[in-house]
Amino acid sequence: MGQPPSACPRPSCPGPPPPSPAVQALFRDGKAVQLQTNCGGALLTPAGAQVGALLATALREFGHPDSTAASRVYSFQDGRTALAVWHIYRAGIAFRTVRLLSEPEWSATITCIAVFRPATDPALGDACSPQQLHPQGR
């Protein structure tokens, strides 16, 4: 049996590319200052808030956020609109959610979680992607 595709040193290796890490880190001055994931189960709070859970789970555990930041608006061909919002807690956690505007806020689905140093400003974008963070510490 040959080596798995992720062990192949050439770009032309057969098979899918190796998976990206489930949790990305943002570095400043050589130190990790934020962790971020869009993978369910990668960051799980004691009360069960995680990617894929309803915002209601985070609201029960953390209360109302200290601030919110609109992230992105999605418009669909059938006329429906969805809104992505970051729910930010100064204690050091933020949840990005997406919901249809016709649905109640608590029913939004958590799509990303960022954990950062308390009382600092997290680096939050309009998506939860590794490209927004700098895993190499740049």
User: Average pLDDT, stretch 84-106?
Assistant: 94
d(CA 25, CA 114): 10
136: tokens are 């190499």
Per-residue pLDDT of 62-74, as tens digits, reads 999 999 998 889 9
Determine which of 10-19, 58-67, 109-118 has the lowest per-residue pLDDT on average: 10-19
pTM: 0.77
Strands 31-37 and 23-28: antiparallel
Share of the chain above pLDDT 90, in %: 49
- pLDDT band for position 127 (50/70/90)? confident
